[in-house]
Structure 1
Amino acid sequence: MGASGWDYRAPYAGSVEATHLAVQEQLLASGEFLWPWEDINPEYVDEMVPRPSSLADLEAAKDAEEFWNAGTHTILDTHEITEADGVGTVRPLSSAELNGVFGTDRPSAADFEGVRRPGPSGPLADLTGDRWTGRSLVIYKNGAADEVYFWGYSGD
């Protein structure tokens, strides 16, 4: 199938970490994601894993090799907000990256709309990490965190 790019813009929930979890919970509830075991021939796996109904179920499924053979092609393929690169991580843009793209380290919605481009183009696409990772940035309103934008690339 190949990997997929994904992005989500969500209201700030008190922290980037809390917003990440809120987006994942909403996506789990919607069911709008691929599930690796739905396309696997049952004779090739030890155990079929049902679609998760909670983040705990999702994390348990990530222990299986089959999960990482395909993934969900969504933010569900990530599990941690961190400055370090690694499978399943989301790295916030650094102050230098924010200033390079927006001219400020506290971009507004207007700043964000001025640079965001659909699809794999534009300055934010240039900052996308490796497959199985994501990036994030906080969007500000009147000097306070208002939204978080997540984007990345996962699945196989």
Structure 2
Amino acid sequence: NTGELVLRAPWLTQSYLKNDDAGKELWESGYMHTQDIAYIRPDGYIKITDRLKDVIKSGGEWISSLEIETILSLHPSVADVSVIGVRDKQWGERPLALVVLKPNAQETSADDIKAIAEKAVERGIIPKYGVPSQFKFVDELPKTSVGKHDKKVMREMYANQTQV
């Protein structure tokens, strides 16, 4: 089963520096909430798949945005890609892929990129509901000060984009 990784040990931090109030949320129900989404592999190792804030909740299932991004980035025309959840009337949320194409790849269509995700479904790498419902081609993706995808900004940019 996939879920939030929670921990308990005497040496774990009890709160955040200069923010004691956050300790209550951090240690809800006596466990430290890591905000990491993970599952236990058959060999007993824990595999962290995403951050809680970035996971897409679709029809009661969790979709790892990082996993879908990794798959879509394998397409030779994709320079950069980010996957976020947007509201969906039927499923709660559905994945939206924001794609930056490489120069001279303008002939590439959303269906071309979607095909790589569908192949991953056929191979059992991702579930069918993990294939993004929509693809948007953009010139660039918002980044944080350290160069990571700023999904918070992207979610705000596409917050009113409800899929029907």
TM-score (norm 2): 0.25
Whichever structure has more helix as a proportion of its residues is 1
Bigger radius of gyration among the two: 2
Whichever structure has more strand as a proportion of its residues is 2
Higher relative contact order (CA 8 A, sep 6+): 1
TM-score (norm 1): 0.26
